[in-house]
């Protein structure tokens, strides 16, 4: 085994972006979790309000943790963390975002369906791809046909995970756009509160951008090793 300094060229930008995105989302959430909605609306109450407003009905359940909120299209249920059930601008923004996913599901939004379809493959490809690549590249060696085949198979397998991260971007961005439109239509938030909700959702969106960047940079690193590494294997 060896450490390749070139890896840092590809990894560091993605790591830096991910750390910055995590800082942004945590700071924005922490700030607006302390700002109550003037009309006293909690996250759960906002979910019920949006259901009445849109006619789309989904289940609402609690889930442990913070920022663990998600919508599960398999059983049409929003699972909300304890903090998202409070009266705060942050909780209302998060709940509206998850309800945005429920709206996507009700309308058979293409990118959401595509993301759901490739989830089972992603759960395997995200860790199998790198293993296949490094077995072929580093153990068998790309000087052999078997090594090259294993390495390229690893790249192809990891490509599924990279595709998932790219498909996630329009899904999350669209859910946030829907959330802000719905929050504006309810008149439950005043302009300053709506601006705060937007900041929370914009910060959260950065985490998905960072994840996509990391996947693409990793994929590019693998391809660079293979296309430039033939000289090393000869």
Active site residues: 98
Task: Give the phi and the psi of residue 158 in degrees, each rounded to 5.
Answer: -65, -25
Across 163-200, b (16+ Cβ under 10 Å) vs e yields bbbebbebbbbbbbebbbebbeebebbeeebbebbbbb
* Farthest-apart Cα atoms in the chain, separation: 70
Instruction: Locate 58 and state its tokens.
Output: 């989904």
The dihedral of CA 113, 85, 211, 142: what is its sign?
negative
Q: Which residues pair with 63 in a beta bridge?
A: 81
Residue of 88, 57, 53, 84 whose CA lies nearest to 70 = 84
Closest to 182 in 3D by CA, of 88, 61, 101, 122 = 101
Task: Show Cβ contacts of residue 48 under 8 Å, excluding neighbours closer than 6 positions.
Answer: 60
Q: Cα angle at 98 between 106 and 71, to 5 degrees?
A: 70
Strand partners, 79: 61, 70
- Cα atoms in the Cβ-side hemisphere of radius 13 Å centred on 222: 26
């Amino acid at each position: 085994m060896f450490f390749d300094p070139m890896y840092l060229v590809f990894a560091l930008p993605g790591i830096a972006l991910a750390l910055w995105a995590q800082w942004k989302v945590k700071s924005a959430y922490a700030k607006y979790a302390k700002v109550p909605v003037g009309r006293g609306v909690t996250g759960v109450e906002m979910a019920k309000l949006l259901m009445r407003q849109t006619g789309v009905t989904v289940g609402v359940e609690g889930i442990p943790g913070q920022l663990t909120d998600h919508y599960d299209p398999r059983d049409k249920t929003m699972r909300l963390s304890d903090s998202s059930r409070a009266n705060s601008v942050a909780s209302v923004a998060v709940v509206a975002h998850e309800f945005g996913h429920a709206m996507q599901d009700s309308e058979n939004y293409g990118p959401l369906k595509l993301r759901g379809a490739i989830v089972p493959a992603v759960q395997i490809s995200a860790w199998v791809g790198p293993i296949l690549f490094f077995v072929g590249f580093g153990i068998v060696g790309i000087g052999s046909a078997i090594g090259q085949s294993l390495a390229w198979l690893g790249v192809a397998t990891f490509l599924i995970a990279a595709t998932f991260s790219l498909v996630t971007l329009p899904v999350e961005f669209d859910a946030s756009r829907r959330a802000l439109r719905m929050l504006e239509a309810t008149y439950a938030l005043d302009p300053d509160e709506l601006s705060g909700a937007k900041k929370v959702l914009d910060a959260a969106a950065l985490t998905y951008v960072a994840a996509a960047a990391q996947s693409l940079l990793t994929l590019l690193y693998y391809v660079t090793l293979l296309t430039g590494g033939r000289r090393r294997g000869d």
